[in-house]
Amino acid sequence: MRSIGTFFLLLLIVTLLKAEKIGEIASIVGVRENQVIGYGLVVGLSGTGDGTTSEFTIRSLSNLLQTVGVKIDPDDIKSKNVAAVMVTVALPAFVRQGDKLNTTVSSIGDAKSLEGGTLLMTALRGVDGNIYALSQGSVTIGGRNGKESGTKNHTTTGTIFDGAIVEKEISYDIYNQNFANLSLKKSNFQTAISIQKEINDFFQGDIAVAIDSRTIRLTKPDTLSMVEFLASTLEVNVLYQKEQKIIINEKTGTIVAGIDIKIDPVIITHGDITVKISPQKEISEEILEDGIDMKNGIHIGTNENLLNMEEDKITVGNLTRVLHKLGATPKDIISIIEGIKRADAMRAKLEVI
């Protein structure tokens, strides 16, 4: 049997029709997080900061020193204990002034590591140019050490826990609104109609209208405030059809798929592997003598690497396990799955990354 190398198969149990709270599959339009960004300096590095080739770092340090009354020519700065970084923070919806948030710090120069550094006070701005938060504090790299892992050093990105303080709030006027829109995370006409029906049944009135495959228009009942109405709406259960998907990473040989993704009868030949997927009633006595995997309902013809599967068990998960058993490499398995999709013998969406 051939070596299959490193191969990961993650089988996620996916139910075609399942019940979920509306809040799990949809969000309220306008209520979202916002990104802010800033440019700053990390100091206190042990010779692992930006070199003299990063002129913007040297000039930034010179300008910073001038703000505290120290005038120095940028050409006289030779320190490698400073690194220029970009600082990013996600502001959650309804964040309040004084709240503390985690900060991500990433080097933009030629620094070797941010380990042990401290970010100096950095203003974080939104797309409108306004300052929404200030960030400062000790950078942690979370134990990421290239020498220990035997890989490249990835310590040029770090985190400052609770390192940003919110200075300006983003206002949301929810209470005084009479209308709101729900937006489905995945566009689907049937799911939109199901949400419309469940909300109207729950509140016993025509207060929800699906206006397209992703948007449901809501009208607040007179007896509830908008906050009470939305809180109740997001807790309503609805049946929806989850999208079937197979994700393939060709570089690492990783396949992620639902175990109940069905495959139609098909014949595939790939190299010296021949796969025949057919209903149980077509399995001949000659094939049955070659080998049987009763657990998966799969019959393996060893002479031609011929597979036969029971009609109700023709799935990507079972096929992959059998190909693995036959000694197929990750590349072989990926090619076979891609071929099945091209032959339109599989309903799931295929995504190659």
CB-side exposure of 335: number of CA atoms within 13 Å?
12
| Pair 126, 104: CB distance under 8 Å | no
pTM, rounded to two decimals: 0.66
User: Alpha helix locations (H) across 260-305?
Assistant: 285-290
Kindly list the distances between the CA atom of residue 230 and the CA atoms of 107, 178, 236, 261, 352, in Å, as whole numbers in the listed order. 42, 11, 10, 35, 38
Question: In this structure, what token pair is assigned to residue 350?
Answer: 């295929």
Q: Give Cβ neighbours of residue 123 (< 8 Å, ≥ 6 apart).
A: 38, 131, 134
Q: Give Cβ neighbours of residue 204 (< 8 Å, ≥ 6 apart).
A: none
Single-letter residue type at 152: K
pLDDT at 307 over 80: no
Backbone angles phi, psi at 130, to 5 degrees: -80, 150
pLDDT at 288 over 60: no
- Residue 310: pLDDT band by 50, 70, 90 thresholds? low
Question: Tell me: the pLDDT tens digits for 46-67?
Answer: 989 888 777 888 788 888 877 7
Find how far residue 346's CA is from the centre of its chain: 24
Average pLDDT over residues 207-212: 96
- Residue 41: pLDDT band by 50, 70, 90 thresholds? very high
The single-letter DSSP state of residue 177 is -
| Pair 91, 35: CB distance under 8 Å | yes
Question: Tell me: the pLDDT tens digits for 238-274?
Answer: 987 777 788 888 788 788 877 678 888 788 788 777 7
pLDDT at 286 over 80: no
> By three-state DSSP, how is residue 323 classified?
helix
Enclosing H/E stretch for 147: helix 146-149
Greater model confidence, 235 or 304 = 235
Tell me the average pLDDT of the chain.
81
Find where tokens 């550094």 sit. Answer: 117
The predicted pLDDT at position 199 comes to: 97
Q: Which domains does the chain have, with CATH numbers?
A: 8-13+244-352 (no CATH), 17-31+173-241 (3.30.1360), 34-166 (no CATH)
Q: Give Cβ neighbours of residue 325 (< 8 Å, ≥ 6 apart).
A: 293, 300
